Amino acid sequence: MIDFKKITTGLAFCSLMIGFSTNSLAQNARIKIDLDRKIGEVDKKIYGNFVEHLGRCVYGGIYDPGNPLSDENGFRLDVLEAVKGLNVSLTRYPGGNFVSNYNWKDGVGSKEDRPTRLELAWSRLESNQFGTNEFMDYAKLMNTEPYFAVNLGTGSILEAQQWVEYTNVESGPYYAELRKKHGYEKPHNIKYWSLGNEMDGPWQMGHLSAEDYAKKAREAGKLMKLTDPSIKLVAAGSSNFYPGANPMHWNRVVIDELKDVVDYLALHMYVGNVEDNYYAFVASPLVLEERTHLVKGMIDEAMTRANRKGKDPIYIAWDEYNIWYRWRSSETMSGDIALEERYNLEDALVIASFLNAFIRNADVVKIANMAQLVNVIAPIFTNEEGLFLQTIYHPLALFAQYAHGTALDVFVDSETYNTGDFALGLGEQRADLKNVPYLDVSATVNGDEVIINVVNRHKDKAITTDILAFEGEFSGDFEVFEVNGPDIKAMNDFGKTTVETKSKSLKGKGDKVTYAFPAHSYTMIRAKIK
Ligand code: AHR
C-alpha cells in the first residue's frame, strides 16, 4: 500500500463535486488512482458461470422443450437473452457434485436411446436428454468458452480420455468418428478441463485423500493431454473450511504433486448471512481474498521447484462462488426446488465485493465462475411463463461488460469497522475481521478508460469521497452506474424490479473529483484520465 501523504504532495487539486446523494453524508474517504501501479491483466475468464445438471438449471432453465418460449432445439429464448446480458466468458459444465457420478456417454447420440439414471449427488433422475452436444450448441448461442469437468469420482481415467477424444479429435479414432456420426463433423475443441470436482469432500462420490487424488488426477491429465496436448488442466483444490477439515494440507499436496502438470487450481466459496449480521456478511468476500493469498503463497513456493518449461505458473480458478445458505439441498426427489435461492440487495453487494477481490488479485485469479447460471443459486430465475433478474445479476453484468484491461492497485482511505466473530456460511468456520473499510474498491485501466468499482458497505450513510488522479486529469465525462434499492433486504420477483442498475452521465474536469457513494450501494464509475 502506498503512503497517501507522500504521493499527494505537489498535486494541484481541482475540487469538483460530480455527484450527490440523498442520504445524509457521514464520512469522508479518499480513493487514489495511480495508472503506474499495475497488478496484472484482468483475464476475461473471471466473468464465467456454471451450468450443472441440478434442479432447474438445465431442465426448466436453459432447456425447456415444448415450452412456447423455447426454440426448436428446446432452448428457452428469453433465458438466452438474459444470459447474453451477462457476457459469460467461460461456462463450466456439467457439474459440480453431479459430475462425480456422470458418464458422458449416456448423454450423446439419439435422444430416444439415452438412459435415465438415478443421479445420486442430488437425489434425482437424470434423463440425459441434454448432454455434450446440446451444451456445445448452447455455448455457441451464448458466445461462451466451454469448460468441462471430468468424473474422477466413480469415473475412470479412460472415460476422461475418451471424452477428450470425442470432443477434440478431428477424425480417426472411434470416439471422434462417433461424434461425427452424431452430426458434429468438426471437433468442439474444448480447451479447459477440470480434473474432478471437490474431491476433498466426504460428500463427493468417490472422495479421495489428497495423495490418492493427486495420483489419479495426474494419470487422467496425462491421458487427456496425450489425446489433445493443447488443453489446459484445472486441479481440484480445497476451500472447504468445515470443522475438522484440513484444506491447506490438501492444497499443499495437490500443488506439490501436480506442479509440473496442471495450469490452474480450483477453489470454491459460498457465504451466507446465517446470523443476520449485515456488516459481517458484506465483509465476507475478504475471507476469499485471504484464502487467495494463502494459496498464492503455496503456488509461488512450488513454482520455484517446478519444471514448467516456459509455461505460465499455476493460476487460481475460483470456479464456484456465490451466496448459498437458504436452500441447501434438493429438498425433494423431483429436485424442483433445489437450491433456488432468492437474492436481495445485500447479496448483490457481496457479489460486487467478490468481483472486486478477483480484480485486486488479477495476477493470480485467472478464472472465476459464479455458481450457477439459472434457477439454482442463480442470477436468472424462471417459471414456465417467463423470468426475472435477481439482484446479483446486476453487478455481474456491469463488471463483465466494462471491467477489463489492467487491474490497478488502488489506494483507499476510508473509515473501518470490526466484524467480531461470525459464521461465514452454513457449516463453515467462523471469521473475525478487523479494520474492514466501509468502501470496498477495485479499478481497471483499458487504454485511457478507467473503471472504478466501489461498494459502500455502510448501511445508513453515504460516504463523500475524493477520487484523485495521481498523474493526468479526469477528462470531463463520467458515466456512473449504481446498483441499489430501498433497503438491504430489497428483492426482485416476477413482475417486480426493486433492485437494478441505474445510470447517469456527469461532467467534471480536474485531478480530483468528489463523489458521494450512497449507503448500501455498488457504484461503477467510467472515466477517462488523460
Ligand atoms: O453449486 C452447487 C454445488 O456446490 C456443486 O455441485 C458442488 O461442487 C458444490 O459443493
| pLDDT tens for each residue of the chain, 530 residues long | 222 222 222 222 334 444 444 444 456 999 999 999 999 999 999 999 999 999 999 999 999 999 999 999 999 999 999 999 999 999 999 999 999 999 999 999 999 999 999 999 988 899 999 999 999 999 999 999 999 999 999 999 999 999 999 999 999 999 999 999 999 999 999 999 999 999 999 999 999 999 999 999 999 999 999 999 999 999 999 987 777 788 999 999 999 999 999 999 999 999 999 999 999 999 999 999 999 999 999 999 999 999 998 899 999 999 999 999 887 655 544 444 678 999 999 999 999 999 999 999 999 999 999 999 999 999 999 999 999 999 999 999 999 999 999 999 999 999 999 999 999 987 767 899 999 999 999 999 999 999 999 999 999 999 999 999 999 999 989 999 999 999 999 999 999 999 999 999 999 889 999 999 999 999 999 999 99
CA 147 – ligand 1 centroid, Å: 15
- Please give the distance, rounded to the nearest whole angstrom, from the Cα atom of residue 518 to the centre of ligand 1: 34
Helices within 317-439 (DSSP H only): 345-360, 393-402
Q: Active-site residue among 198, 257, 346, 428?
A: 198
Angle at the Cα of 323 from the Cα atoms of 401 and 130, rounded to 5 degrees: 75
SS (H, E, C) 492-504: CECCECCCEEEEE
Number of the ligand 1 atom closest to the C-alpha atom of 320: 1
Sequence-distant (6+) residues with CB within 8 A of 152 are: 100, 160, 195, 196, 199, 206, 208, 213, 216, 217, 220, 236
Residue nearest to atom 5 of ligand 1 (CA): 96
Q: Are 7 and 470 in contact (CB under 8 A)?
A: yes
**CATH class of the domain at 17-40+408-529:** mainly beta
Say how many Å lie between the CA of residue 271 and the centre of ligand 1.
13
- Indicate whether residue 126 lines ligand 1 (CB < 6 A): no
Cell 441440478, residue located? 54
pTM: 0.94
Residue 371: CB within 6 Å of ligand 1? yes
